[in-house]
Amino acid sequence: SKRTKIKALLTGEQTGMEVTVMGWVRAFRQNRFIALNDGSTNNNIQIVVDFENTDPALLKRITVGAAISVSGILSESLGQGQKVEIPASVIEVLGDCDPEKYPLQLKNRPSLEYLREIAHLRFRTNTFGSVFRLRNALSFAVHRFFQERGFVYLHTPVITASDAEGAGETFRVTTLDPAKPPLTESGEIDFKQDFFGKATNLTVSGQLEGELGAMALSDIYTFGPTFRAENSNTTRHLAEFWMIEPEMAFCDLAENMDTAEALLKYVISYALEHNREDIEFLSQRLLEEEKSKPQQERSEMNLVEKLQFCLDNDFERLTYTEAIEILRNSPHNKKKKFQYLVEGWGTDLQSEHERYLVEKHFKKPVILTDYPKEIKAFYMRQNDDGKTVRAMDILFPGIGEIVGGSQREERLDKLEQRMDEMGIPKDELWWYLDTRRFGACQHAGFGLGFERLVLFVTGMGNIRDVIPFPRAPKTAEF
């Protein structure tokens, strides 16, 4: 008969009905009770086996990790811990799992480090079940937010010639055949023969292309894989991550901030509403981890409270210049507790500074605006002071920068002047400059790092644990 998902059965509304469930065995106790999981929820359904009337050869094959199919009448459970159970009338082993070899046999909860080494199997743990169901919900909520507001989902290229943004190190795309590499006249491999003879790279941001869309469709967003050859090994950077980049015509910096704050609140509240069970599971898991920390390092709020707090408060908005003053005069700076001391105006903030502002000073999410133009990209709208640009970064507790955005420079002369100053080739970006020639208008947008959002909502500590297949130095092979 037709398979029913375990999550749907656990509500207990269909007792008395014949049902079939399929999943993977999580535990088999006393040759009698199977805890079965199919990934629809962390809660297992209890299967009761009539072991006296079951073939011993079949019983032996019911091992942790095996895939099985069970049919029976969904019944009320008299045991503790579950409302319903299935006394099995038919059990079929679909896929055996050798208990000697299965790496997830462990009685104690395996460490995240160990699970990263067996990343191909970690989907089968409750922690990663919750993380990836939340990732899914957040991604759906992102689309829902934009679709409800009439944004067009625009697919920007993964292979692109534009790396002019200078957002980070780029991965080069090459079509070289290693067996028959084209040679230069002097007999060396001709590495310039990339993508059909054109030097290209994997996209570091879809923004420049996104702006082209916005200059006709008004409001667009991208949501796709983004690549940066990050040479640092942090818990906040991946070589392949997903970025959400809305771009809005007729929009200034203030509206840009409003949109970003509304988006973050919308998706967090969506997750709290639709994936409460997973958030509560991760919250509980975090509490257990916190117990091993010294009292003063434990966080004051649990995960649910932390997310709710973020919804209930306006993000603090201030300028970079104001932030520098706060940091410079902070007790942290005076006692030299920062690794990088804040001495003056003009330098970029490190994540320790961002987190100080959020976690210690304002104790809520922060939006910093009007950064020095020297530390920001060429396309940002220049302020009249000649020193700052209309940039904004959103900083989150435990994360630091989660969003980076700006109002864009729509004035051709100012844009060209800035490109010249920064040595950015105007001829390569002629198509971008055309948007400023043909009906330019005020516009703005931002980039939200999807994994940083998932980190925040799941409370996980390492970005490699919130993407199914992490791509970073020394990650598992896929």
Residues that bind Mg ion (CB under 5 A): 401, 404
Residues 6+ apart with CB under 8 A from 294: none
213-232: contacts with ligand ATP (CB under 6 A): 228, 230
Q: Based on CB atoms, which residue is closest to Mg ion, 110 or 445? A: 445
DSSP state of 439: S
How does DSSP assign 163-219, residue by residue?
Answer: -TT--S--PEEB---TTS--B-TTSSB-TT-BGGGS-EEE-S-SHHHHHHHHHHHSE
Q: Is 445 in the site for ligand ATP (CB under 6 A)?
A: no
Q: Based on CB atoms, which residue is closest to ligand ATP, 236 or 443? A: 236
Site size with ligand ATP, rule: CB under 6 A: 17
CA angle, residues 118, 121, 126, in degrees to nearest 5 = 110
Q: Based on CB atoms, which residue is closest to ligand ATP, 323 or 440? A: 323
Q: Based on CB atoms, which residue is closest to ligand ATP, 146 or 241? A: 241
Contact predicate 447/243, CB 8 Å:
yes
Contact predicate 174/181, CB 8 Å:
no
For the bound state, the minimum distance from the C-beta of residue 238 to Mg ion, rounded and expressed in Å, comes to: 11
Q: Is 237 in the site for ligand ATP (CB under 6 A)?
A: yes
Q: In a 10 Å sphere around its CB, with 0-12 CB exposed, 13-18 middle and 19+ buried, how is residue 167 labelled?
A: middle
- Amino acid identity, position 413: D
In this chain, which of 58, 59, 73, 167 binds ligand ATP, going by CB under 6 A? Answer: 167
- Backbone φ, ψ for residue 163 (5° rounding): -125, 15
Torsion of CA 141, 465, 8, 84, to 10 degrees: -150
Q: How far is CA 320 from CA 323, 354, 368, 393, in A?
A: 5, 11, 6, 9
Q: Based on CB atoms, which residue is closest to ligand ATP, 34 or 403? A: 403
For the bound state, the minimum distance from the C-beta of residue 380 to Mg ion, rounded and expressed in Å, comes to: 11
Pick what 449 binds: ligand ATP, Mg ion, none; C-beta below 5 to 8 Å, kind-dependent. Answer: ligand ATP
Q: Is 452 in the site for ligand ATP (CB under 6 A)?
A: yes
Pick what 306 binds: Mg ion, ligand ATP, none; C-beta below 5 to 8 Å, kind-dependent. Answer: none
In this chain, which of 402, 440, 455, 457 binds ligand ATP, going by CB under 6 A? Answer: 402
Q: Is 403 in the site for ligand ATP (CB under 6 A)?
A: yes
For the bound state, the minimum distance from the C-beta of residue 440 to ligand ATP, rounded and expressed in Å, comes to: 23
Q: Is 244 in the site for ligand ATP (CB under 6 A)?
A: no
For the bound state, the minimum distance from the C-beta of residue 74 to ligand ATP, rounded and expressed in Å, comes to: 44
Question: For the CA atoms of the chain, what is the radius of gyration?
Answer: 27
Q: Cβ-closest residue to ligand ATP? A: 449
State the residues that interact with ligand ATP by CB under 6 A. 167-168, 228, 230, 236-238, 241, 243, 401-404, 447, 449, 451-452
